Structure 1
Amino acid sequence: MCFAQGKSDETPTIGMAVEFMDHAACAYVARDKGWFKEQGLRVSSYESYVTGMALAAALARGNIQVAYICLVPAINVFANGKVPIRIIAGTHKYGYGVVVNPHKVKSANDLERPGVRIGCVREGGPVDLLLHKTIEKYNLDPGKILGKVQRMNPPAQVLAIRMHRLDAAFLPEQWATMAEDAGFKMLLTAQDLWPQMQGSVLVVKEELIKGHPQIVKRLVKVTQKATCW
């Protein structure tokens, strides 16, 4: 068992991890409002990761039992990393976009043009899937696009946009909105590319469900309250 134990009559502490973006807003709200503590949940650590893929890697460690994470990396870490997690709640739908320099890219077809510089997270992330959905939906040539994609995390993409080193970027929120603040325009959203796309979820380790189901129920209750707030 990987839980840090307090006194025998106390609820065991849990390690929690979140993404450093508004996809995990309910976790940030619940922590700020003291709602985890209000439900008797003893959070021993609260780690933040810039991407869902980085968070997924952290789930392989024994000290993280709870995570607010994008659905795609959660599936990857379960299916490919064999990490025993279970999804216990959804937290939001959508939350991704394709932002572009409006002077260089006016339609999805312009992404094929030579010289159009494209940014995206590394392979396997949710926005990487949206990159491929864009290619599929608009019948674009993968050979004209994938070879010029620059793989970088969301903050690095926003910085590259501000430095005029990208013409298009596939980003999660809040980074897509930050790119708009830098002069880019939202060309496509997840709603356009993937109807009913599940954005992020709350996952827990199987051992937490088996050993402390009451903690799992309280986590769902707090998550629902914070999401409604």
Structure 2
Amino acid sequence: MRSRARIDPRLVLPVVGVLLFGALIVFGERAIDRSTRAGERPRTRVRLAYFPNLTHAPALIGVAEGRFQRALGPAVELSPKVVNAGPEAMQALLAGEIDLAYVGPSPATNAYLRSAGKALRIVAGAASGGASLVAAGDSRIEGVKDLGGKKVAVPQLGGTQDVSLRHFIAAAGFAPVPNGGTVDIIPGGNADILTLFKQHRIDAAWVPEPWATRIVLEAGGRRAVDERDLWPGHRFATTVLVARTGFLGQHPELVGAMVKENAAIIAWIAKSPKAAMNAANAQLKVLSGKALSDEVLSESWSRLSFEADPNRASIEGFAEAAFECGYAKQRPGDLSGLFHMEAGPP
């Protein structure tokens, strides 16, 4: 048997020493790097929720073109979150998961009332109009008066279109099926509602743009009612910008920057509607993987207006309607505390 070669320990020790020294340098640099980063002031995050709808065009444009991020400044990180309906957004706000949201007036007022006025403030308007009752092309539905015994879809229970539907069918003498009536209200995502129309499984839907127009042009639907025709002056709030009260109190300057940029975007939309349409559509493509056709985009846009004024009268009307529908436990009363239209903390 051959004897094993032995390594002289005098040769090993210097090598080990070099390796240990190198390791100490590497780990030391990492420790210094971590210490340096730890000493830096962390960036403030602004968590913003919005919908992939044209009724949220100011948000689509502000996020896609970096306008909100620039308005907030380099020390702040904008963290956008896409949601599909207002109640979902308000649940996230009540849980402290978002700071600002573009949302319909009904979920906003409901969250305000549920929290005894503590959860949020409306800080700006965004959109008016842009919602319709669309009916199956072969149906005899010409208006709300024809919805008895029909299946009518809405984006989400408790959302703005749901409250509108319930309010106007009540005015026409109808009630939802669970309340002993004959109108079967079916909640579903907007894309799902479009599919249901194509499958002839529902009779009508109360939906925002671009979905109302898509149902008309892609699923053989017919616009039975433009909701603007049901409101005084043909104006009602569709989308508002709300701020979580805690965030507004801590960072009034950031909320102010967002409100100012929201107004600037709305002014740009009025000045350059074609460019604004294309910018909003480009972001819809990013979010959904598919842009709207020129026909859908143009028709949808024509049924919307964008306003920094939140239209307080219509919001108070939505709050009263939500109470009548059973979504609020008590009559809303004075809602002056819901609105925070001036700079500074609440």
TM class by shorter chain equals: 0.7 to 0.9
| 1:163 is the counterpart of 2:187 | no
State the partner residue of 1:102. 137
Over 3 Å counting, the alpha-carbon distance change for 1:120 and 1:37 in structure 2 is closer
Does 1 or 2 have the higher relative contact order (CA < 8 Å, sep 6+)?
1
Q: TM-score normalized by structure 2?
A: 0.58
Over 3 Å counting, the alpha-carbon distance change for 1:183 and 1:201 in structure 2 is same
Give 1:193-204 correspondences, 5 Å limit: 193-195=230-232, 196-204=235-243
Unaligned runs of 5+ in 2: 1-38, 269-346
- What is the CA–CA distance in structure 2 between the aligned matches of 1:51 and 1:210, rounded to whole Å? 26
Give 1:1-229 correspondences, 5 Å limit: 7-8=40-41, 12-41=44-73, 42-81=76-115, 84-108=119-143, 109-112=145-148, 114=149, 116-137=150-171, 139-142=172-175, 144-146=181-183, 148-181=184-217, 182-195=219-232, 196-229=235-268
- What is the CA–CA distance in structure 1 between the aligned matches of 2:93 and 2:101, rounded to whole Å? 8
- What is the CA–CA distance in structure 2 between the aligned matches of 1:140 and 1:217, rounded to whole Å? 44
Please provide the CA RMSD for this pair: 2.3
Is the 2:69–2:78 Cα contact (8 Å) retained in structure 1? no
State how many pairs are aligned.
220
Work out the percentage of aligned pairs sharing the same amino acid: 26
Deviations 1:140-169 (A, max 9, x none): 4325533x2222232211110011111211
Unaligned runs of 5+ in 1: 1-5
- What is the CA–CA distance in structure 1 between the aligned matches of 2:185 and 2:250, rounded to whole Å? 45
Is the 1:105–1:168 Cα contact (8 Å) retained in structure 2? no
Deviations 1:185-218 (A, max 9, x none): 1111221223332111111122232222211111
Letter in 2 for 1:133: H
- What is the CA–CA distance in structure 2 between the aligned matches of 1:158 and 1:184, rounded to whole Å? 10
- What is the CA–CA distance in structure 1 between the aligned matches of 2:245 and 2:98, rounded to whole Å? 12
More strand by share: 1
- What is the CA–CA distance in structure 1 between the aligned matches of 2:208 and 2:147, rounded to whole Å? 19
Is the partner of 1:59 in helix, strand or coil?
A: helix
- What is the CA–CA distance in structure 1 between the aligned matches of 2:193 and 2:105, rounded to whole Å? 22
Is the 1:17–1:48 Cα contact (8 Å) retained in structure 2? yes
Is the partner of 1:123 in helix, strand or coil?
A: coil
Q: TM-score normalized by structure 1?
A: 0.86
- What is the CA–CA distance in structure 1 between the aligned matches of 2:134 and 2:156, rounded to whole Å? 17
More helix by share: 2
Q: Give the number of the structure whose alpha-carbon radius of gyration is greater.
A: 2
- What is the CA–CA distance in structure 1 between the aligned matches of 2:77 and 2:198, rounded to whole Å? 37
Over 3 Å counting, the alpha-carbon distance change for 1:141 and 1:35 in structure 2 is closer
Over 3 Å counting, the alpha-carbon distance change for 1:224 and 1:111 in structure 2 is same
Letter in 1 for 2:135: V
Runs of 4+ in 1 over 4 A off after TM superposition: none
